[in-house]
Structure 1
């Protein structure tokens, strides 16, 4: 089994692409997903050690990724990473996400491959 990834993404197309991309990159397995802020926060609270990486979209079916970042900011375990992948990659939003504890921030339109490379790098044993 690979490193456990939790997706917070309301687009089935994006979820499928990320699931396949992470699996192809090796040693990563999407263990679950949420389409809403409330669903993501509940899953994270119920599975505090069930993930090593959370990939969070900003605009969800209900709520935002900002609420997800805030909810897991203080409860993350050492080594757990949270990254943002959004279609609304402004410098203001990037700064806000990093202040809320995001480890990295990526634009869906141009940085999906960079996200996969980041995941491979950060989820290597000993990272």
Structure 2
């Protein structure tokens, strides 16, 4: 079974490359995309049973990934929300953990860890 994944990333090139990589290596199924906090929050709220994983960037065209993480602190146990950012500093990681993010990865040097994380989720959900 594929991991139904929603992407919140406002850079089309990064988003397309990420989706392609995760489809190929981690058996994910993209279920939607958003470029703003409002669009992501609306879709995720209206489709709460339609996703297993959300991958959120922190800095968006409008709003913040932290707002999305904060809005979905309470979710089904099998639903995972992770942050993928170029700004994965210790302070940002701590804030994401406080908001109940399941993981945070740095875009520049932790993509392999993100792929491994997704593979692990798929194994758990199988």
Band of TM-score, shorter chain? over 0.9
Q: Which has the higher contact order (CA 8 A, sep 6+)?
A: 2
**Greater mean deviation of Cα atoms: 41-50 or 17-26:** 17-26
Unaligned runs of 5+ in 2: none
Report the counterpart of residue 118 of structure 2 in structure 1.
119
Q: TM-score, normalised by structure 1?
A: 0.94
Report the counterpart of residue 78 of structure 2 in structure 1.
79
1:33 and 2:33 are equivalent in the alignment? yes
Report the counterpart of residue 20 of structure 1 in structure 2.
20
Residue 89 of structure 1: how far off its partner (Å): 1.2
Q: Is the 8 A contact 2:69 2:101 kept in 1?
A: yes
1:52 and 2:73 are equivalent in the alignment? no
Residue 77 of structure 1: how far off its partner (Å): 1.1
Q: TM-score, normalised by structure 2?
A: 0.94
Equivalent residues, number: 126
For residues 4 and 89 of structure 1, what CA distance do their matches in structure 2 show? 24
Unaligned runs of 5+ in 1: none
For residues 5 and 122 of structure 2, what CA distance do their matches in structure 1 show? 10
The two structures, once aligned, show a CA RMSD in angstroms of 1.3
